[in-house]
């Protein structure tokens, strides 16, 4: 099932993507008096029971909206944690001239960094070296603490598409990456959150285009640490909560990996599209 958040009269609503458009879950529940979760958070917490209710709702007389003019919201609004994995593809570690890590490198972003599909992202004036990072994003479905690698994927609710936007001059100003990673709207995600059932996160094509030119093209099977390893590792140090999201790392092709003379950093007016097989395409324009 593909779920989205969208805005209607300044209210964030839950939607279900179907062939004919987007089911407005809130209106459909009101119209049919059918019991079903009406927010993304409620769906995640309710798990399979909530998804079953949404499946039954889809069989009712539901209200369907055209997706063409929809205003998207981030598919997660207030996760407790936004974790990110650095240098998780051999090719990216090589282009960054950094040793291949022996365990996942974790850093974080904050909720101010969340942004939606088609949202215009204003670049901060305190930096100049802006870069893209196409990434598969994990959405945690239930509380996870000290879970094994073998059990880890059972704690996943679903996956979405993400762009770990980075200000490289801020990122490497000190030993901490935070400033360059969590500027406002530097974590666009979406447009869809696809549920984990039937999806193999370890074999998905992933690409990034800038102004129509492919800059990154890889497959998630090239990760150094797969999704199960990342979840298990993180859960040894912190309890993961439903709705937490994890950016799983980016493949080669980022601007940082170019020879210095060829580094043409992102600028206002650039359009970035991140696509992941079976999940969807996330598009943003910079300003």
Looking at residue 17, its pLDDT comes to 97
Residue 217 has pLDDT above 80, yes or no: yes
Average pLDDT over residues 37-60: 96
Average pLDDT over residues 159-181: 95
Cα distances from 125 to residues 24, 102, 131, 133, 264, in angstroms, run: 38, 36, 15, 20, 17
Average pLDDT over residues 4-24: 96
Per-residue pLDDT of 117-132, as tens digits, reads 999 999 999 999 999 9
Average pLDDT, the chain: 95
Per-residue pLDDT of 248-271, as tens digits, reads 999 999 999 999 999 999 999 999
Q: How confident is the model at residue 61 (pLDDT cuts 50, 70, 90)?
A: confident
Looking at residue 198, its pLDDT comes to 86
Per-residue pLDDT of 16-32, as tens digits, reads 999 999 999 999 999 88
**Distance, first Cα to last Cα, the chain:** 33
Looking at residue 242, its pLDDT comes to 98
Average pLDDT over residues 147-154: 98
Q: How confident is the model at residue 157 (pLDDT cuts 50, 70, 90)?
A: very high
Average pLDDT over residues 148-165: 98
Neighbours of 207 (CB within 10 A): 18
The alpha carbons of the chain give a radius of gyration, in whole angstroms, of: 19
Looking at residue 244, its pLDDT comes to 98
Q: How confident is the model at residue 243 (pLDDT cuts 50, 70, 90)?
A: very high
Per-residue pLDDT of 171-192, as tens digits, reads 999 989 999 999 999 999 999 9
Instruction: State whether residue 57 is helix, strand or coil.
Output: helix
Looking at residue 97, its pLDDT comes to 74
Looking at residue 33, its pLDDT comes to 86
* Per-residue DSSP letter, 110: -
Q: pTM score > 0.85 for this model?
A: yes
Cα distances from 177 to residues 104, 131, 180, 243, in angstroms, run: 15, 14, 6, 23
How far is 231 from 223, CA to CA, in rounded Å?
Answer: 14
Looking at residue 10, its pLDDT comes to 86
Whether the bond into 191 is cis, omega within 30 of 0: yes
Looking at residue 101, its pLDDT comes to 87
How far is 119 from 4, CA to CA, in rounded Å?
Answer: 14
How far is 109 from 34, CA to CA, in rounded Å?
Answer: 37
Looking at residue 175, its pLDDT comes to 85
In the chain, what percentage of residues exceed pLDDT 90? Answer: 90
Residues 6+ away with beta carbon under 8 Å from 157: 44, 47, 139, 140, 141, 142, 193, 195, 196, 242
């Amino acid at each position: 099932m593909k779920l989205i958040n969208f805005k209607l009269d300044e209210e964030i609503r839950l939607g279900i993507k179907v062939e004919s458009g987007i089911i407005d879950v809130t209106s459909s529940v009101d119209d049919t008096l059918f019991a079903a979760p009406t927010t993304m958070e409620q769906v995640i917490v309710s798990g399979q029971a909530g998804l079953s209710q949404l499946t039954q709702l889809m069989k009712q007389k539901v209200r369907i909206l055209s997706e063409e003019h929809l205003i998207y919201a981030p598919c997660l609004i207030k996760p407790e944690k936004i974790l990110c994995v650095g240098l998780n593809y051999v090719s990216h570690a090589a282009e960054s001239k950094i040793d291949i890590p022996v365990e996942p490198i974790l850093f974080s972003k904050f909720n101010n960094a969340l942004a939606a599909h088609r949202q215009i992202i204003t670049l901060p004036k305190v930096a100049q070296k802006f870069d893209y990072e196409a990434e598969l994003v994990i959405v945690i479905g239930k509380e996870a603490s000290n879970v094994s690698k073998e059990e880890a994927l059972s704690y996943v609710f679903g996956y979405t598409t993400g762009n770990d936007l980075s200000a490289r001059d801020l990122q490497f100003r000190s030993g901490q990456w935070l400033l360059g990673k969590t500027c406002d709207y530097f974590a666009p995600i979406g447009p869809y959150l696809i549920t984990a059932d039937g999806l193999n996160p370890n074999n998905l094509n992933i690409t990034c285009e800038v102004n129509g030119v492919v800059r990154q093209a890889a497959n998630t099977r090239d990760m150094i640490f797969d999704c199960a390893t990342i979840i298990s590792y993180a859960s040894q140090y912190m309890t993961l909560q439903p709705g937490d999201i994890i950016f799983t790392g980016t493949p080669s092709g980022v601007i940082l990996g170019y020879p210095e003379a060829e580094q043409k950093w992102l600028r206002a007016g650039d359009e970035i599209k991140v696509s992941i097989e079976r999940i969807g395409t996330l598009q943003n324009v910079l300003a």
